[in-house]
Structure 1
């Protein structure tokens, strides 16, 4: 059975709150889970200590059993110091768009022209 540590959404419309759960990867996002490991409230400020609450011992237990955290939960675990920082590679996201590239080339051409004079 492939285990995941992931977020299960709760709360009302436009007021999300999440449970951090250990679940079978084949189950739906808000469906059956094996154990609740903590909570995440994105409505609280980022520096609030109640934004992410986790039972660290149980999370470590599931990680030792081979449960794979989702990307968002992995970031929370990195912040808590339970996992090392993983390298994320998305080279296209940091690359400027076509118009921004054209503006940069135009600006460089103007700078070169004024430097020649």
Structure 2
């Protein structure tokens, strides 16, 4: 099954997450199909905290990819910020 989930990066105590489309059988930080955005929980000031390619998200969910609960929450957060 294909899932849309977070992949952690960044330094110790300074997390940075890529939003990736990956096969569920691959490990969390491993191989992925496509990177569709990022999430920086420690962004302050003018730094961008969340970027998501809505068109690619719609494509992957349209072909059957499952969205993780955390990414689903971030998508709703991005939609609310855009409105």
- State the TM-score, normalized to the length of structure 1: 0.63
Determine whether 1:3 maps to 2:2: yes
Higher helix share: 1
Aligned pair count? Answer: 79
Which of these two proteins has the greater Rg computed from alpha carbons? 1
- Post-superposition offset of 1:48: 6.2
- Post-superposition offset of 1:80: 3.0
Runs of 4+ in 1 over 4 A off after TM superposition: none
What is the CA RMSD across the aligned residues, in angstroms? 1.6
- State the TM-score, normalized to the length of structure 2: 0.87
Higher strand share: 2
Which residue does the alignment assign to 1:56? Answer: 54
Gaps of 5+ in 1: 82-117
